[in-house]
Homo-oligomer: A and B are copies of this chain.
Amino acid sequence: MLVTIVDALAGKPGIGEEVTVQGWVRTRRDSKAGLSFINVHDGSCFNPIQAVVDNTIENYSSEVIKLTAGCAVKITGKLVESQGKGQSFEIQATTVEVLGWVEDPDTYPMQPKRHSMEFLRDNAHLRPRTNISGAVARVRNTIAQAVHRFFHENGFNWIHTPIITASDAEGAGEMFRVSTLDQMNLPKDDKGNIDYSKDFFGSESFLTVSGQLNVEAYCMAMSKVYTFGPTFRAENSNTSRHLAEFWMVEPEIAFADLNDNADLAEDMMRYVFEAVLNEREDDMEFFQQRVDSECINRLRNVIDNKFERMDYTDVIDILKKSDKKFEYPVEWGIDLQSEHERFIAEEHVGRPTVVMNYPKDIKAFYMRLNDDEKTVAAMDVLAPGIGEIIGGAQREERLDVLDKRIAEMGLPAEHYWWYRDLRRYGTVPHAGFGLGFDRCVSYVTGVANIRDVIPFPRVPNNVKF
């Protein structure tokens, strides 16, 4: 029977059964006794399965001993318990069919050895075949599926908010322009400006930086909603920690305040990290051994402990009173830097910490003004080992206060006509947050450079970032 390698390694077909596996050769080793040991992977789990091939099979000398890393094979044989250490089951091969050879094995980029991450980035189309990129892809999938499952089980609706948009959610963040105008022959209006009314959408269009404002419209009708899709920042921050294109998870809940929001963030993180430990034990063990010895402990720490909650103002006090020397000076009103966030989560508290009620001047216009009129109901979830992993807020649901904030910040009120409408008609307290999905994958796996946890670290065809 045709089986996946994960099932074969678990012995699911039954001991002694004839099985067929299909996959790619990771290594081949020949013994003096006339046996070849071929390790084959098919992506279904971390470990390859070992096929033991006797030199009596028909194509042994013509094909089997020519197999190299990357060749595609179809192997049939008896599934037996393995004598070797670290393996559960192996296959005593009766036939080995070569489906695809490797052209010029000596120059095949994915040799069975350890490659630098830079090298793998340059071979993004082949790196899924490596241990590390395969493990990242599986863990990434598990996190993504768990995110959907968590929200679905809790009565949320997934909303696809627009990717091409005219609005900038926060008045912050550089945007990518989207256009079909002929660049060599741009239409101009009578003032000499570009006439975007001639563009595809009839006005200037950009790639979204967040689906939040849009999803609020659905929240004001369906109570529990979320987005999970790509977002874009055209900043020169396309570094090892930031991407120009990244996926974001943004839930939004009605009839909810900042504490409900923090509860939701905590429940979601716990659910997702539990799924990773339950479903991807093999890959996480690899990351722990080869990438970051703390990665499993980090997840356990999030799962096992109630998150601490504290006010921004108290955080400032703690930072000021600490003996720690910070690069960035601490004063009430500053945006917390990574060093501050990590000190709080790692050294002062020792577990995830929700910091709440930030100064209004460092936060977005849509965050709810607190009664002190100095702070807004914003929150960041700080996690040991990374600092901020989630950012969110209760939204300003009062139209008059929202309008004042829009005016204060010099934003164009007419731009937000529909967002203001939501406050004119049946407005309710509501809140939400954003989780940078790619950053979360980096956090979970311990793979620090974010380019190494996304499926393609650059646009194919060698468009270098």
Contacts and interface: CB of A to CB of B under 8 A. Distances in A.
B222 A137 contact: yes
Given A164-B176, A180-B177, A23 B461 contact: no
A70 B422 CA distance: 10
A200 B176 contact: yes
A352 interface: no
A315 interface: no
A430 to B, nearest CB: 10
A44 B223 contact: yes
Interface stretch (A212-220, A316-324, A371-379): A212-220
A374 to B, nearest CB: 26
A166 B72 contact: no
B214 A180 contact: no
A237 to B, nearest CB: 12
Given A101-B426, A177-B179, A460 B126 contact: no
Interface residues of A, number: 105
B103 A43 contact: no
A214 B426 contact: no
Given A102-B426, A103-B424, A245 B72 contact: no
Contacts of A217: 124-126, 128
Contacts of A152: 141, 145
Contacts of A108: 425
A456 B161 contact: yes
Contacts of A454: 160
Interface string A430-465: 000000000000000000000000111001111111
A427 B176 contact: no
A426 B100 contact: yes
Contacts of A25: 426
A183 interface: yes
A201 interface: yes
Contact of A141 (B4, B158, B193): B158
A245 B163 contact: yes
A178 B180 contact: no
A74 B428 CA distance: 10
Contacts of A429: 99
A287 to B, nearest CB: 17
A221 B418 contact: no
Contacts of A428: 22, 72, 99-100
A194 interface: yes
B129 A459 contact: no
Interface stretch (A51-59, A202-210, A297-305): A202-210
Given A166-B461, A176-B180, A176-B200, 8 more contacts: A42-B222, A70-B426, A100-B425, A126-B425, A133-B221, A134-B222, A180-B234, A229-B230
- In the A-B complex, the 7 residue pairs with the smallest Cβ-Cβ separation, listed nearest first, are A43-B222, A128-B221, A100-B427, A125-B418, A72-B426, A141-B157, A125-B217
19 contacts: A22-B428, A99-B429, A100-B425, A100-B426, A110-B425, A128-B221, A134-B221, A137-B222, A145-B148, A160-B455, A162-B456, A177-B179, A178-B178, A183-B186, A201-B459, A201-B463, A202-B463, A214-B456, A418-B461
Interface of A: 4, 6, 22-25, 42-44, 70-72, 74, 99-103, 108, 110, 124-126, 128-129, 133-134, 137-138, 140-141, 144-145, 148, 152, 155, 157-167, 174, 176-180, 183-184, 186, 193-194, 200-203, 205, 207, 213-214, 217-218, 220-224, 229-230, 232, 234, 244-245, 247, 254-255, 397, 415, 417-419, 421-422, 424-429, 454-456, 459-465
